[in-house]
Structure 1
Amino acid sequence: MPTFYVSDEIHTDVLAELQTLGLVHLGYGPDAVRYDDVRDDIDAVLLRAERFDREKIDASPRLRIIARHGVGTDNVDIDAATDADIWVTTTPGSNSRAVAEHVFALLLSLARRVPYGTAQTTSGQWAAAKPHMNGFELHGRTLGLLGFGNIARMVATIAQGFGMHVLVHDPFVQDSAIQAAGAAPATVDEVIAGSDVLSLHMPLTEQTAQIIDADALARMKPGSVLINTSRGGLIDEPALAQSLQNGQLGGAGLDVLEGESVDMKDPIAHSKIQIADVPNLIVTPHVAGQSKEAFLAAGTGALQAIRQALAGQRPEHAVNTITACAPA
């Protein structure tokens, strides 16, 4: 009977099904166990936020698969997993719509000053708050997208429903495909300088790290809004804070922080800015893809990959290739 480790909370239906397949150790909740305490027995990991580096992987003699609950692999040493003949999988598309909708949850909250209005009203300042609640409409504004994968395409569709114009830069997508989606292809500089709202949808690489730095922020339209539901390292956070404090930027909505590269479970402790002191900044705790529907889809996809790997098959959506492929 195989033994499983689940790093963080998953959908109850997925957990119940996993428990029918073998023994499950949970890395969360009142009976949480540390992975290092059970690693000798683990055949498969269903992974969310916990970091799996080479040391942890090399110390896992039975481990066959690390099934990511989501699309990112920033917290997994893929080379180490490949060297150890351990599959790494993701669940692409499982949370695309949830993330796309969260972009607009952040954007509309900033555009209509929802957090300010709520705070003032709940503190008894109903009348005093009203003169400061003149936000802006999305209709007729320009949305810029850096990256044009599945999520960004859904964002573009939603934006067009609001009557927004859409500019797109993605070096891996042909201009004809961007135009077919009703958007206009543009250079990075044109997107940054020409957008009322700039939304980031790209992976974190050496080329994209801090692509939104002090210079890029200075080139954005005065009063414009920045949204990031992708990876925290895409933005120079101290420069962003300064841009918000001096009024160059009208607002920012972040679902990801740079500190997640140090500690995905407590990035605020490693933040280079004091979030509470930055005006017009909304931060959510990396939950853009965490709708009920997406939660179930991601868990189901990860569970399917585990079933396939333990049956000696190549799991769907594997991000690496291994040499050993025998049933557990």
Structure 2
Amino acid sequence: MTKVLIATEKPFAPAAVAQMSEICNSAGYQVQLLEKYATKSELLQAVGDAHALIVRSDLVDREVLDAASNLKIVVRAGAGYDNVDTAYAREKGICVMNTPGQNSNAVAELAIGLAIYGIRDLFSGKMGGELRGRTLGLHGYGYVARNVHRIARAFGMNVMVYTRYSKAQAASQGIGVTKSLEELYAVSDVVSIHVPARGEHLQSVSMDVLKHLKEHAIIVNTARKEVVNEDELCEFMAARPDVKYLSDIAPDCIDRFKQDFEGRYYFTPKKLGAQTAEANLNAGVAAAEQIVEFFENGDRTFQVNK
């Protein structure tokens, strides 16, 4: 019998687990839950006889993959999959998938929420501003950014984007497309970052780009901290006391922020973008459905390690 292991340090909501189990059980699969595990050894033991693995932000490295002798597929319930060693999985013939778009509205709403918090001076009681009439710059144009655009239009914002791969789609939706990342940062009152932590995007938010920011600009990062050159961000913020940085992931240099940039930053207590009941359910159900389609029909639509 095909065994599906749902291994999550941060558990899915009970409603999500119920639907995921129903989908797998209906296909004749056995479901095992490993929730809130405290040690890696628990995961290594549980994955030993699993044919499929569903995770959230859990680390699936070489050791985990080597311990799973029957494993055929790993699904990361969410968009980012940097927690999975995709290259080694490919070497072992293991398909890795994500569930793109399932948590995009949740992340987009948080991005706009952070923008509001920033422009209202962190709700400090001091004079703030409004989003209406200001320019939002989208650094990237994937699922999340498209939802940010939808919400921002309702706020009356002007939206610009820099993207290398979705220019035609962005333009067809009436969004201004800049020729460079530097140009995007130069015209934006609020920059919202939506690129993955891989390839050309790693540390792409650097001094070369930041130095073009408008006065009193706000940077919102609901992507990954690895896309920001943190040393250069700190150097830039020290030189530009008018700029704010808000994110749902604290940087490694958080002590520098606490010491030097009081009132100009905010970080959520943990990675928060997808932490809604709706996104939790959507991503979990999509993961279960993709596993069934993979085994029953050979569907690899969302494979990320081809």
TM range (shorter): 0.7 to 0.9
Contact 2:7/2:43 (8 A) holds in 1 = no
- Cα offset for 1:316? 4.5
Which residue is 1:155 aligned to? 148
2:77 is aligned, of 69, 82, 87, to 69
Shift of 1:33: 6.8
**Alpha-carbon offset, residue 246 of structure 1:** 4.3
Q: What's 2:89 paired with? A: 81
C-alpha contact 1:25 1:33 (8 A) present in aligned 2: no
TM-score, length of structure 2 as denominator length = 0.86
Tell which deviates more after alignment, 189-198 or 26-35: 26-35
CA contact (8 A) 2:188 2:214 kept: yes
Residue in 2 that maps onto 1:15:
17
Q: CA deviation at 1:178?
A: 2.4
1:281 corresponding residue in structure 2:
265
1:272 is aligned, of 253, 276, 279, to 253
Q: Which amino acid aligns with 2:267?
A: V
Cα deviation code 1:73-92 (max 9, x no counterpart) = 11111122122222211111
1:222–1:248 Cα contact (<8 Å) kept: no
Q: Is the 8 A contact 1:139 1:163 kept in 2?
A: yes
Equivalent positions of 1:108-147 (< 5 A) are 108-115=116-123, 117=124, 130=125, 133-147=126-140
- Gaps of at least 5 residues in structure 2 are none
The 5 Å alignment of 1:145-184 reads 145-174=138-167, 176-184=168-176
Cα contact 1:66–1:88 (8 A) shared by 2: yes
Residues 26 and 210 of structure 1, relative CA distance in 2, 3 Å threshold: same
State whether residues 197 and 227 of structure 1, in contact with CA within 8 Å, keep that contact through their aligned partners in structure 2.
yes
2:282 match: 297
Deviation at 1:94, TM superposition (A): 0.4
The answer (yes or no) to whether the contact 2:5–2:46 under 8 Å persists in 1 is no
Instruction: Indicate conservation of the 8 Å contact 1:26/1:33, yes or no.
Output: no
Matches within 5 A, 1:240-259: 240-257=233-250
Q: Displacement of 1:221 after TM fit?
A: 1.2
Amino acid at match of 2:249: V
- How many Å apart are 1:31 and its aligned residue? 11
TM-score of the pair, normalised by structure 1? 0.81
Q: d(CA) in 1 for partners of 2:7 and 2:21?
A: 10
How far apart in 1 are the matches of 2:40 and 2:95? 25
1:90 to 1:155, Cα distance in 2 relative to 1, 3 A: same
Range 81-90 or range 238-247, more displaced? 238-247
SS of 1:204's equivalent in the other structure is coil
Aligned to 1:267: none
Greater displacement, 89-98 / 200-209: 200-209
**In 2, Cα distance between equivalents of 1:27 and 1:316:** 28
Query: How many residue pairs end up in the alignment?
Result: 293
Does structure 2 conserve the Cα–Cα contact (< 8 Å) formed by 1:202 and 1:230?
A: yes
Structure 1: distance between partners of 2:185 and 2:240: 17
Q: Which runs of 5+ in 1 are unaligned?
A: 118-129, 259-270, 322-328
For 2:258, give the aligned amino acid. A
Label 1:47 to 1:189 Cα distance change in 2 as closer, same or farther (>3 A). same
Within the candidate set 275, 297, 302, 1:317 is matched to: 302
245-254 or 58-67: bigger deviation = 245-254
How much does 1:167 deviate? 1.5
Alpha-carbon RMSD: 2.4
Secondary structure at the residue paired with 2:199?
coil
Distance in 2 of aligned mates of 1:244 and 1:311:
53
Task: Give distance in 2, aligned partners of 1:177 and 1:87.
Answer: 29
Separation in structure 1 between the aligned mates of residue 88 and residue 8 of structure 2, nearest angstrom? 19
Q: Distance in 1 between matches of 2:288 and 2:250?
A: 28
Within 2, Cα distance between the matches of 1:85 and 1:257?
35
Determine the C-alpha separation between the residues in 2 that align with 1:32 and 1:186.
45
Over alpha carbons, which structure has the higher Rg?
A: 1
Write the letter of the residue equivalent to 2:265: L
CA contact (8 A) 2:5 2:31 kept: yes
The answer for the alignment partner of 2:227 in structure 1 is 234
